Amino acid sequence: MAMQPMKSIETLHDIEEALTRLRVADPRLAEIVAQSGEVPLRRTEPGFASLASIIVSQQVSKQSAAAIWGRLSALVDPLEPATYLAAGETAWREAGLSRPKQRALSAVAEAVIAGDLDLHHLCTLDEKHAIAAMTTIKGIGPWTAEVYLLFAAGHPDIFPAGDVALQTAVGEAFAFEQRPREAELRVIAESWAPWRGTAARLFWAFYAARRARDAMPL
């Protein structure tokens, strides 16, 4: 399988460098950068806990996700595949995990233990192969896989176009009458390649600056 051809996003300097290139590639982004304040890095360590935190954050508010994550981390310590499975449904319910999230985390844990999902090795692959491997696991869709690769692998050129906050931010930034849906946003984001990972962070920061509310998944 092909390796990632570009340098991963590791530091705030990497983000600043990519923002400079994005402003040249798309001059409209200069004003977005000016309005967004600091664009955060938010890197995580690859592995089960990182992916679990993304699954927990799906389709819930930032506050709810933080509360569930705090309870889950306290009940399952260390948060690893074997300890998660050993904790069982009582602990999962006490943490506040919905049934679909319980099943998704169980499927991930079982796949990791069986050797069918290597969450560290996935971070060395190009996005096409990595996303394909992750989405074979029930409960992991493209958004989850893309967000994991953005923050655990620091992938430089992924834009999770299914993210509602990103859709809203891009729509507002460019004064669209309606926020772009996933397919449309993927087309729009093509013009920001090969720095789409930084472009995604930028629009999350833009969303946060306009609402005083963080929408970045991690």
**CATH number for the 12-42+157-211 domain, one of 1.10.287.3510, 1.10.1670.40, 1.20.58.340, 3.50.7.10?**
1.10.1670.40
% residues pLDDT > 90 (the chain): 89
CB 157, CB 130: distance < 8 Å? no
**What residues does CATH 1.10.1670.40 cover in the chain?**
12-42+157-211
The span from the CA of 15 to the CA of 174, in Å, is: 22
CB 21, CB 199: distance < 8 Å? no
pTM above 0.85?
yes
Looking at the chain, how many residues does it have? Answer: 218
**What residues does CATH 1.10.340.30 cover in the chain?**
48-151
Condensed to tens digits (0 to 9), the pLDDT of residues 186-211 reads 999 999 999 999 999 999 999 999 98
Asked whether the predicted pLDDT for residue 164 surpasses 80, the reply is yes
The CATH code for residues 48-151 is 1.10.340.30
